[in-house]
Amino acid sequence: MTFPIAAVRSRFPALSIEDNGVRRIYLDNPAGTQVPDTVAQAVYDCLVRTNANLGGYFGTSRSADRIVDQAHQAMAEFFGTDDPGEVVIGANMTTLTLHMSRSICRDFRPGDEIILTRMDHEGDVAPWLEIAQDMGLVIRWAEIDPVSWRIETETIRSLLSDRTRLLAINHASNMTGAVNDVKAIAELARAANALTYVDAVQFAPHGVIDVAALGCDFLVCSAYKFFGPHLGVLWGRRGLLERMHAYKCRCVSEELPGKFETGTLPHELIAGLTAAVDYDAWLGGETGATGSRREKLAAALRDAAQYEERLARQLIDGLSAMDGVEIIGPAIHDNVRPRVPTVSFRHKSVKPARLAKALADENIFVWSGHNYALGIVRQFGIPEHEGVVRIGIAHYNTAEEIATAIDAVSRAIRAG
Ligand SMILES: Cc1ncc(COP(=O)(O)O)c(C=O)c1O
């Protein structure tokens, strides 16, 4: 299959912007992706045409209701559930997790255990540490396997006990790009009567999410990482969400998902969320998929992942060939596709910030630092104030951009 890269790029206005005649190369994607034209348009249209609060009798309010309902439906399809009531929209992943952790852990008892991983972003660590401190819960830490860079099922097995109530784990790392076998891990947790809370923030732009197949209990992601607006979205099992106490205003009904959607949401961004899912379906159509929106978006994500994998290989090969460069993460692909195309590295003498600045001077956008993956830098003894250089690929990047970035890194290293 030839990936329709020209058609893809034509959909993202930001990709053709130049600064002082120099085009931008966006490789900061794990921190946030650019948006298709239709996402920006949907945000604009909502603000201009249907800017009202929910639940009124008048036209704009009814339209706002429809916009919010459509987004729940679109995200239900994105997650692979047919129940839009299981979709909770919030400000971002971290805020949703801080909010939901309070409800999830409400009936936990002092001494009950939560398993966290060294691989996770702080957004899936700090909320659980906070509630553990408030409630006297015990944290058990899962270390990263230094060969696979994943959290192995054996590690989880060894940590589960009859006091384990919850396991919080990321699907893909925002630093190493390693992908966990969430299905196997959730199965272990279920067998031990523990809940599984999956942080799919970094997986969502690169793979198909199917919550039923994963067998987890909660899964959360951030729309601004998958070509949508700045929002977080959570899926939870209906039975659990129904039973859980919601911290909310008294006049808000107990209906799902509203009981967890505190206050007034940014309806304009929610309009953009549906457009982001529709964009994926459009891409599926471009690559020849037919059928439902879910079928088309799943095909799009699979095709995009194959395309991204070629770019990631090119990037890893290019970086690995440089003297003194160490890839922080899985450097080799295998058939089970154990990584997303986020590639972090360090050089033996040139500091990450220096390299990121050198690339910024050429309008190549990359991140340096720990990127909130504190567990990884600590486990592997990487100086926390330095971290890594992170080059994060999205499906709108090109082989030429990757070659340019490799060349820029190489020159920056030689310049020292
Ligand atoms: C893996 C992962 N989890 C959680 C987060 C936090 O997401 P948010 O900014 O939506 O709170 C990020 C952000 O980069 C992330 O990469």
Give pLDDT, residue 336: 46
Say if residue 194 is in the same domain as residue 140. Answer: yes
Which of 92, 118, 121, 233 best tests ligand 1's pocket when mutated (most atoms within 8 Å of CB)? Answer: 121
pLDDT score for 198: 99
In a domain, 284, yes or no: no
Query: Domain of 155: which CATH number?
Result: 3.40.640.10
Q: Does any domain span residue 288?
A: no
Global confidence as pTM: 0.98
Cα–ligand 1 centroid distance for 225 (angstroms): 9
Which parts of the chain register pLDDT below 50? 335-336
Ligand 1 centroid to Cα of residue 290, in Å, is 32
Tens-digit pLDDT profile for residues 337-368: 589 999 999 999 999 999 999 999 999 999 99
375 CA distance to ligand 1 centroid (A)? 14
Q: How many domains does the chain have?
A: 2
87-90, strands of its sheet edge to edge = 87-90, 232-236, 218-222, 195-199, 164-170, 113-117, 138-142
Cα(97) to ligand 1 centroid in Å equals 10
Longest pairwise C-alpha distance within the chain: 67
Examine the domain organization and report whether 191 and 206 are in the same domain: yes
Choosing from 214, 244, 277, the residue where a domain stops is: 277
- Same domain? For 184 and 306 the reply is no
Q: For residue 146, what are its two tokens?
A: 């230094």
> What are the tokens at 349?
């003498």
Residues 201 and 139 in one domain: yes
Q: What is the residue range of 48's domain?
A: 40-277
The structure tokens 């007034």 sit at 264
pLDDT at 334: 54
Residues 6 or more apart whose CB falls under 8 angstroms from that of 2 comprise none
Do 214 and 179 meet the contact criterion of CB atoms below 8 Å apart?
no
Q: For a ligand 1 pocket test, name from 174, 218, 220, 340 the mutation site with the most ligand atoms within 8 angstroms of its C-beta.
A: 174
Clarify whether residues 369 and 410 are in a common domain: yes
Residues with CB under 6 A from ligand 1: 30-31, 92-94, 121, 123-124, 170, 174, 199, 201-202, 222, 232
